[in-house]
Structure 1
Amino acid sequence: MEEGYIRFTPSASSVVCFPLQELFQKVRSILNKLTPQMFNQLMKQVMDLTIDTEERLKGVVDLVFEKAIDEPSFSMVYGNMCSCLAMLKVPMADKPTSTVGFQKLLLNRCQKEFEKDKVNDDVLEKLRHQLEAATSASERERLEEDLEEAKDKAHRRSIGNIKFIGELFKLHMLSEAIMHDCVVKLFMNHSEESLERLCHLLTAIGKDLDLEKARPKMDHYFKYIEKTVKKRRGSSRIRFLLQDVIDLRLNNWVSRRADHGPKTIEQIHKEAKLEEQEEQRKVHQQLLSKQNKRQSFSCAFGVALTSE
C-alpha cells in the first residue's frame, strides 16, 4: 500500500447496514469522489458499511473493478483502495463454514477480463470478415460503425484492465509469476491490440520485474520486441510504442517525462477528457477516411461508365 494511506478496520459501533441496492449506490457515490487527497476520509466511509455477505462483497468488487478499468488515470487510487479491503472476508453463500475474500474475488475478475481480451480479438476479427463480405453500401457502413464502436470499447477496457493489474502487482496483490504469465500470453497473441497492452504493462511494472533472478526472461522478451521493431512488423504506432519501452529499459526504467507527484481531481478529469476526445477524433477520422475512399471509388466508377 502507498505510504500515507491507512488500512482501516471498522469498529462494531460505527458499522452502518444499508439495504443491498442502497449499499451499492453508497459505494458508487464514494468511488465518484475518490482521489489521493480524499482517500483516507472516503475509505473510512467504506469501512463503516456492512459488507457481510457474498452477494454484497461481489457487488462491491464489481463496482470497484468497473470503475478502475473505466478510469485508468485513477488506477493507483483504486489499487490502494483494494489494498485496504484485501483482507475483507465473508461466509460463502453455498458453504457458510468457509469464507471468500475481497482479494480472491477481485483477482478472479481481473483474470476473467484479461482472458476476455482474446475473445474480443476474435469478435473483432469476425466483424472484419463480415465487412469484407458485405455486398451493399448500407451494410458496409453499418458494419464499419459496429467495428469501430466494438474496437473502441474493447480497447478502453483492455488498457484499463492492464493498468489496473499493474497497480495491483506493485501493491503486492499479484505475484511476479502471474505477471510473467501475462507477458507471455500477450506475446503469444501476436495481435496489435495485445502488443499495445504489453507496452502499457511493461511501462508500468518493467522496473519491478527486471530483477537479477528474472533478467534472462526479460532479455528474452526484449529480443522479441527489438526483432518486431527492426522487421517493421505491425503499424508504425505500435512500433513507436515498442521502441519507447526499449528506450525506457535502456534508461534503467526512468521515464524521461517529469513526474510532478499526485494529481488533483481536476487535473485527472481534464487528462481523461482529453484522452477520450482524442480516441473519438481517431474513430471519426477513420470513418471519414473510409467514406472518402468509397466516394472516390464511386466517382471513378461513374467516370469510367460515362467514358465508355
Structure 2
Amino acid sequence: MVSFAQDLKKAIRGRLNKLTPENYDKISKNILEMEVDTEERLSAIVQIFFDKAVDEPIYAPKYAELCKLMFEKEVPSASGTGKASFRKLLLDRCQATFEKEKKDEEEIVSKQKALEEADTEEKKKELQMELNERISKTKRIMLGNIRFIGELFKLRMLSIKIMNFCISKLLKSRDEEQLECLCKLISTIGKTYEEEYDAKYQRAVAESKSSGKQPHMQLTKLDVYLDEMKKLSQSEDLSSRIKFMLMDVLDLKQNRWVPRREGEKPKTIDEIRGELEKERLEKELLSLEEDIIKQPQMGYPSQRRDGGRDDERKKS
C-alpha cells in the first residue's frame, strides 16, 4: 500500500522536475502549501532536496533556498513527545552524509578485494565494471552532497563550526577524492566563511576589551587551511589533476572569490526551447540527408571523346 508520504514525495519530485529560474517562486509556493504534518513527511522532503541537489548540482542553490523557506517548520514528533523540526532533520542528514562515506569506502575496498581474488578473466571484467560504476557513483554523490552542504551554509542554515569540522576532516584524509570534495567545498563557501569568521573575531575582540582578556576563537582561519592546500599543490604524491584543483582554489581566493570564468547555470525556459528547436532542426536535416542518400542514382549519358558526333560525320 502506498503511504501518503510516498505520494507526497512523488508530487514534490514531479514539481521539482519542472523547476526553472522563472517558475521557482510558483513551484516553491506550491510545495509550501502541501500538507506536511508528520515527521515522516517532513523527513521525506529533506531527503528529496538532498537527492535532487546531487542529481542536479546546478540547481543546488535553489534547493538550498527551498530548505531556507522550510527551515523553521515543525511537526509533531513520531515518538509522540515534543516536536520534529526541519532544522534538526536537515542537520541529521548532513551528519549522515559524512558517516555514509565511510561505509561507501568499505564497500569499495570489499569490491577491490573480490576483484583481486577473481579466478577468471570474465569474472575480473565483470567485477571491474561493478567497481568502476561504484566509484563513479560514490564520487558523484560525495561532490553533490558537499556542494549542497556549502550552499546551506551560505544561507546560514549550517554553522561555521560545522564547516570548520568538514574542512578539517577532508584536509586530513589526503585521499584524492576527499581533496576534490575539499576544493568544491571551499570554492562554494570561501567568501561566506571569511565574512563570518571576521564578524565573530570582531565580536571576540569587543568582548575581550570589556573583560580584559585576550580574544579567544575556537575556529580556524581559512588562510590556515589555504596554506596547507598550497603545500599540497606542490606535493609529488598527488596527481596533476588534484594539484591543479588546489591551485584553482588558491587563485579564486586571490581574486576575492570571484570566478574568472562563469560557472554553469540553470537554463531558462527560453534557452530550453531554443535547444529543443535546434535539436528538432538538426533531426530534420539529418532525416533529409538520409532520404537523399537512399534515392537511386540517376544515370547520365557518357560524354563522347574526340568531338563526339562531328567526328562520326567525318568518318562517314
The count of corresponding residues between Structure 1 and Structure 2 is 253
Is the 1:31–1:64 contact (alpha carbons within 8 Å) kept by the matching residues of 2? Answer: no
Query: Deviations 1:2-59 (Å, cap 9, x if unpaired)?
Result: xxxxxxxxxxxxxxxx944332221111111223211111122112211111122112
Aligned to 1:81: 66
What SS does structure 1 have at the residue aligned with 2:233? helix
| Residue identity opposite 2:119 in structure 1 | T
| Residue identity opposite 1:237 in structure 2 | R
* Distance in 1 (alpha carbons) for counterparts of 2:73 and 2:100: 27
Of the candidates 258, 261, 264, which is equivalent to residue 254 of structure 1?
258
Q: CA deviation at 1:269?
A: 12
Aligned positions of 1:234-253 closer than 5 A: 234-253=238-257
Cα 1:259–1:236 shift into 2, 3 Å: closer
Is the 2:58–2:265 contact (alpha carbons within 8 Å) kept by the matching residues of 1? Answer: no
Gaps of 5+ in 1: 1-17, 272-308
Q: CA deviation at 1:207?
A: 1.3
* Distance in 2 (alpha carbons) for counterparts of 1:139 and 1:127: 12
Of the candidates 173, 176, 182, which is equivalent to residue 198 of structure 1?
182
Aligned to 1:147: 131
Aligned to 1:138: 122
Is the 2:12–2:31 contact (alpha carbons within 8 Å) kept by the matching residues of 1? Answer: yes
What SS does structure 2 have at the residue aligned with 1:90? strand
* Distance in 2 (alpha carbons) for counterparts of 1:174 and 1:50: 26
Aligned positions of 1:67-146 closer than 5 A: 67-96=52-81, 98-146=82-130
Aligned to 2:301: none
* Distance in 1 (alpha carbons) for counterparts of 2:182 and 2:274: 26
Aligned to 1:29: 14
Cα 1:225–1:115 shift into 2, 3 Å: same
What SS does structure 1 have at the residue aligned with 2:75? strand
Q: TM-score, normalised by structure 2?
A: 0.73
Aligned positions of 1:1-308 closer than 5 A: 19-96=4-81, 98-210=82-194, 211-212=197-198, 213=201, 217-258=221-262, 263-264=267-268
Q: CA deviation at 1:251?
A: 1.8
Cα 1:225–1:260 shift into 2, 3 Å: closer
Cα 1:61–1:261 shift into 2, 3 Å: closer
Query: Deviations 1:77-133 (Å, cap 9, x if unpaired)?
Result: 10001100111110001124x101112112211220122123222322332233234
Aligned to 1:279: none
Is the 2:53–2:59 contact (alpha carbons within 8 Å) kept by the matching residues of 1? Answer: yes
Is the 1:89–1:100 contact (alpha carbons within 8 Å) kept by the matching residues of 2? Answer: yes
**% same residue:** 40
| Residue identity opposite 1:231 in structure 2 | S
Gaps of 5+ in 2: 202-216, 276-316
What SS does structure 1 have at the residue aligned with 2:17? helix
Query: Deviations 1:174-231 (Å, cap 9, x if unpaired)?
Result: 0101001000111122211100000000100111123444896322212221121212
Cα 1:121–1:270 shift into 2, 3 Å: farther
- Per mean C-alpha deviation after superposition, the further-off stretch among 122-131 and 244-253 is 122-131
Cα 1:270–1:77 shift into 2, 3 Å: farther
* Distance in 1 (alpha carbons) for counterparts of 2:105 and 2:147: 19
Q: CA deviation at 1:241?
A: 0.7
Q: CA deviation at 1:259?
A: 6.4
Q: TM-score, normalised by structure 1?
A: 0.75
Is the 1:65–1:106 contact (alpha carbons within 8 Å) kept by the matching residues of 2? Answer: no
- Per mean C-alpha deviation after superposition, the further-off stretch among 180-189 and 134-143 is 134-143
Which of the two has higher C-alpha Rg? 2
* Distance in 2 (alpha carbons) for counterparts of 1:166 and 1:190: 20
For the aligned residues, what is the CA RMSD? 2.6
